[in-house]
Structure 1
Amino acid sequence: MAGEPQDDCLFCKIVEGHVPATIVRETETTVAFRDINPQAPTHILIIPRVHYENAAALASGAPEVAADLLREAQAVADDEKLESYRVVFNTGAGAGQTVFHAHAHVLGGRGLQWPPG
């Protein structure tokens, strides 16, 4: 069921403290942690504490949490002293989503070309 923790979800396990992560921020609705395979000098993932498969499902099922996630992206950028940064949501395997729990990537600390690779 959407919103409920999933036993087989890596990010649900991070939220529950069963899998370690380098957490940089926590709120009532989100957890932000460093990516274990960074694609930029700063690469932080922000996840909702509730489980939704992707950003579209989160926006539809819990729009207030989706808004919290975007607010946290700015807070992370401020904490990391990023003047410029990118927020990326991969939705679906064809777009590179590998963990099917909605999450945002905050990338910065170097020039980010457009379009991305």
Structure 2
Amino acid sequence: MKNCIFCSIIKGDISAEILYSDDRVLAFTDVNAQAPEHFLVIPKEHIATANDATDESLMGSLSITAAKVAKERGFAEKGYRLVMNCNNDGGQTVSHIHLHCLGGRQMTWPPG
């Protein structure tokens, strides 16, 4: 998609701290971190919102990748939060689905 920041990261046009990459997904640190550990997992295919997702296997890959990276980064055992925002009222600011993984501190509820 034209002008999508995440598509530009996937293509290598914008640099990011890449934590994981395979043929379907990419994980990288969030430049606007909201926790000591905060990274995003995105599909390499442009999908605008969770409402547009149709591939159950791909959606599962996002969660499995987040767990794998959390383990590699050493905070999986203490715990973490996975969040996927959808559209404006849900807090989505980039129109390319992305799963936030936040850890390294106690999470509170409700989130806001």
TM-score (norm 2): 0.94
Q: How many residues align?
A: 110
Q: Which amino acid counterpart does residue 45 of structure 1 have in structure 2?
A: L
Give the secondary structure class of the aligned counterpart of 1:8: coil
Cα distance in 2, alignment partners of residues 57 and 23 from structure 1: 25
CA shift, 1:56, in A, is 3.0
Give the secondary structure class of the aligned counterpart of 2:32: coil
CA shift, 1:77, in A, is 1.1
1:69 matches 2:62: yes
Q: 1:79 maps to which residue? A: 72
TM-score (norm 1): 0.90
Cα distance in 2, alignment partners of residues 105 and 17 from structure 1: 20
Identical amino acids, percent of aligned pairs: 40
Q: How does 1:79-98 map to 2 (within 5 A)?
A: 79-82=72-75, 83=77, 84-98=79-93
TM-superposition CA deviations, 1:75-115 (whole Å, max 9, x none): 11111111200000000111111100000000000000011
**Root mean square deviation, CA, Å:** 0.9
Q: 1:3 maps to which residue? A: none
CA shift, 1:55, in A, is 2.2
CA shift, 1:36, in A, is 0.4
Give runs of ≥4 in structure 1 deviating > 3 Å. Answer: none
TM-superposition CA deviations, 1:35-58 (whole Å, max 9, x none): 001000000000000011112322
Q: Which amino acid counterpart does residue 15 of structure 1 have in structure 2?
A: I
Q: Which amino acid counterpart does residue 103 of structure 1 have in structure 2?
A: H
Segments of 5+ residues of structure 1 without an aligned counterpart are 1-5
